[in-house]
Structure 1
Amino acid sequence: MAQLETNKPTKVRVNKRRSNENLTGWLFAMPWVIGLLLFFGYPLLSSMYYSFTDFSILQSGEFIGLANYRELFQDDLFWISIYNTIYFAVFFVPLSIIFGVALAMVLNMKVKGMAVYRTIFFLPTLVPHVALAILWVWLLNPQFGLVNAMLGFVGIQGPPWLGSTFWSKPALILMSLWGIGQAVIIYLAGLSDISQEYYEAAEVDGATFLQKTFKITLPLLTPVIFFNLVMGFIGAFQQFTLPYAMTNGTGTPADSLTFYVMYLYDNAFSYFRMGYASAMAWILFLIILVLTSLVFWSSKKWVHYQGD
């Protein structure tokens, strides 16, 4: 009995100390929790509600149910913006992975002064997107642009690029590929994480460079490729700054550079149709959610981790 009575106050003190520690932890976390609810949770729930209203900045909206969504599916420019965005994502994301991995493998070679070369390839990512757009508008000018001048030097007549509905999106993909330095850095980190023992064993077995690339490097790099694939699709579907800066928000020529987020922005801040724009935002969220879920589901079949 005496032992039980002695242990009881000890347990009370332990429980009280844990309660104090939990309270202290919540007090330290409260600024972050309040910020999360105030700047993320409230706007998220508000946008969901506004998507069912005709709310604008100038006046409070009335509840109109699914009218915004029905109007969206009958809006031709809505479908054009979806097509442009999907076109960009389908071509840019795979090309960014191919060029990013290839460039990372080149920059991973043991060559004198490689740090300088890595810095050079990373520098374009530091250029502001507006300045980048202005630079490429000049480079792709069909009359006096440097790109067409170089093509003409080898006997190729350059296309009109941003003046053509056919070449405008490939031109934008070319600009975006110029700034994949951040992805290259991530690939370099993944390459440095691959143990050299795999390559040494492959050399003993007489493996060629291509065999080592496709049997060792790429399979063990798939976790990094998977990460950049997910982030690439999310970023591609939110493409905004480059096309908006190049076309002054018009999406010319013939709306070939009107991307989904550009049209969403115009509805929200040019036409003050906040309810309509909120509906577009939630459709974009569902598209990205479904696409990301498919990538995660497929990753079980092609992503390989060291030690598995």
Structure 2
Amino acid sequence: VEYVIRERLRLHGSILSYHSVYFTILLLIYAAVIIGNSLIVLVTVLDLSLHSPMYFFLRNLSFLEICYISATLPKMLVCFLTGDVRISFLGCAAQLYFLVFLGSTECLLLAAMAYDRYVAICDPLRYSLVMNGGFCVRLVVGSWMVAIPIQMGQTYQVFTLPFCASHHLHHFFCDVPPLLELACADTFWSRVTLNTIILLFAIFPFFMIVVSYVRIIGTVLKMHSAPGRHKAFSTCSSHLIVLTLFYGSASVVYCKHHSSDSADTDKYLALFYTILTPMFNPVIYGMRNRELRIALRKLLWRK
């Protein structure tokens, strides 16, 4: 399958004149994601004061973001560096699998983080009992493992379709909606599978997140202490911002009707939740989390 990086660039002359600029921008973004999220992983492992469920989930989210952006961005960097915008059939299948698998895992992990905040704020006396080490590990392992066989099945279903028409995928990387547009067979059951997976791994976790935060907001508003309300909201604000960025862009791409007129919009929205959200993650948590900033300063000062 051959996919085109940006058709409209060819209207402005040679696409090679843009390669160095876009390659440099994407390389800097990739480096920022790797460094920023690796620092969060390192700090939350080395600092004993951050060995709590909240930072355990954050550590896993940061590691996931590194994997998530690595599913698509390295191939895009190669395309801009060499000017070759082709990808092999197996390479496209592998890219699609890791993209949807890691995306599903992120939805489940964000839901687990929301549940952690719910227990911490709404049931603080039982927090250490409920969110014990074994339960947290099971939540994280379950988030990583449950999507593996299901997304393997979806990837197999998509790539057993006949692609007998154009092999130009009008997208930055291999994703389910643009691949279904290329198929010259009936894609009804493939779309049913896609919508079912969206329901299980995106809508249901999002519903659980909404329920958790409705309960959290109700509990916080009943607090008589203004500092207590501020602390409770500050511990949730970073998570809410990451949720909004990830779900806001991904829902538009996966939950709306796709057409040739919306292809460009979909491409850029897909870049947002696959590249920019992992880049913003360490910035959001680092800027809004005082404990994390202090631990990072101690680590850098010691080094």
TM over 0.5: no
Larger Rg: 1
Q: TM-score under structure 1 normalisation?
A: 0.28
Report which of the two has the higher share of helix. 2
